[in-house]
Structure 1
Amino acid sequence: MDAIDRRILAELQQDGRQTITELARRVQLSVSPCLRRVRALERDGVITGYHASVDPRKAGLEFEALLFITMSRSDATTLAQLEEAMTAIDEIVDCQRLFGEPDYLVRVITRSLTDYQTLYDTRIADIPGIERIRSTLVMRSVVSDRPIRM
């Protein structure tokens, strides 16, 4: 990846909806080489997709919690089951496996505390292999969806 690829990535992170013509102008390339570079970045998995950023609160999702999950076992089967379960829960918007303790950091967004409690009681707390879940409520987001610096 060279400096032009990094400029393309920076531009697309700022505005993923811009036309290839506009992108080419901004990175000072002609359209064909710019398009070839974008397609190569997509093919190589550097660009993983395009999406709209949504403000959860303005979309009616008023409740956000961070869960710190410690596993009772860390064998491959148990971790795979937990990760599969996390992937199947739509309200989980981020889930990272961590070094050290806790084992996982999970971000959950729901409409309300009541919806979160139901989700927690019926789907999250019953996942096999979980030893402990500590959670905290998010007061407000200070930084989110920041572009990755190249």
Structure 2
Amino acid sequence: MIDAIDREILRTLQDDGRMSATALAAEVGLTVAPCHRRLKDLEASGAIVGYRAVIDPAAVDLGFQALVFVTLDRVDRATVDEFEAKVAENVHITSAQRLFGDPDYILKVLARDLEDYQQYFDNELTSLPGVLRLRSTLVMKNLKPKAGLPL
């Protein structure tokens, strides 16, 4: 069970995942040993699923973002499984959610620029299994690029 101290550890790590155990312990009001133990327990329980760098897409020439609304022509198990497998392996799709209702999915796609996105749309998105309709909207501004969970 996650208690208030565990939540504080998680909140703190969402802001700075590279924080040392000593600094984390000081931040949450524990000594190092119990803080380290709690951290390991949070990792073992699956509450913490990993650590990674947050990279500015524009800094690596991927500053163009589109949201793509996908409607499938059928939603049988085989089509859904095949579609989701192709989406999962596609590196340009950085976020994907299955939705209730219409559309069936929303995908976040990164590209270099409009021309790069158009090529990607024509060559890859349209060939995803079971696609009936694709609608894109371009992201003007990302207001919460590093938002964590509301702990």
Settle same-fold status: TM greater than 0.5.
Answer: yes
Could you tell me how far apart the structure 2 residues matched to 1:129 and 1:74 are?
8
What CA RMSD, in Å, does the superposition of the two structures yield over aligned residues?
1.1
* Residue identity (%): 44
Please state how far the C-alpha of 1:58 moved relative to its aligned partner: 2.5
Work out the CA distance in 2 between the residues paired with 1:99 and 1:78. Answer: 16
Q: Equivalences for 1:61-72 in 2 at 5 Å?
A: 61-72=62-73
CA distance in 2, matches of 1:15, 1:117: 36
- Unpaired stretches in structure 1, ≥5 consecutive residues: none
Query: Within 5 Å, which residues of 2 pair with 1:65-84?
Result: 65-84=66-85
2: distance between equivalents of 1:100 and 1:25?
47
Residue ranges of structure 2 left out of the alignment (5+ in a row): none
| Alpha-carbon distance, 1:43 to partner | 1.4
1:62 Cα deviation after fit: 2.6
CA displacement, residues 31-83 of structure 1 (integer Å, 9 cap, x when unaligned): 11111111111111111111121111122213110000011111111111111
Whole-Å separation in 1 of the counterparts to 2:129 and 2:94: 20
Alpha-carbon separation, structure 2, partners of 1:33 and 1:79: 45
In structure 1, the residue matched to 2:121 is: 120
Aligned position for 2:12: 11
Stretches of 4+ moved more than 4 A in 1?
none
Q: What TM-score comes out, normalization by structure 1 length?
A: 0.95
Match for 1:134: what amino acid? R
Give the counterpart letter for 2:121 in structure 1: Y
Task: Please give the per-residue CA displacement for 1:87-125, whole angstroms capped at 9, x wherever unaligned.
Answer: 111111100111111110100011122221221122211
* SS of match in other structure, 1:57: helix
Q: How many residues align?
A: 150
Secondary structure of the corresponding residue to residue 143 of structure 2: coil
Mapped partners of 1:145, 1:72: distance in 2: 34
Q: Counterpart of 2:32 in structure 1: which amino acid?
A: V
Q: Greater helix share, 1 or 2?
A: 2
Aligned to 1:54: 55
CA distance in 2, matches of 1:38, 1:31: 10
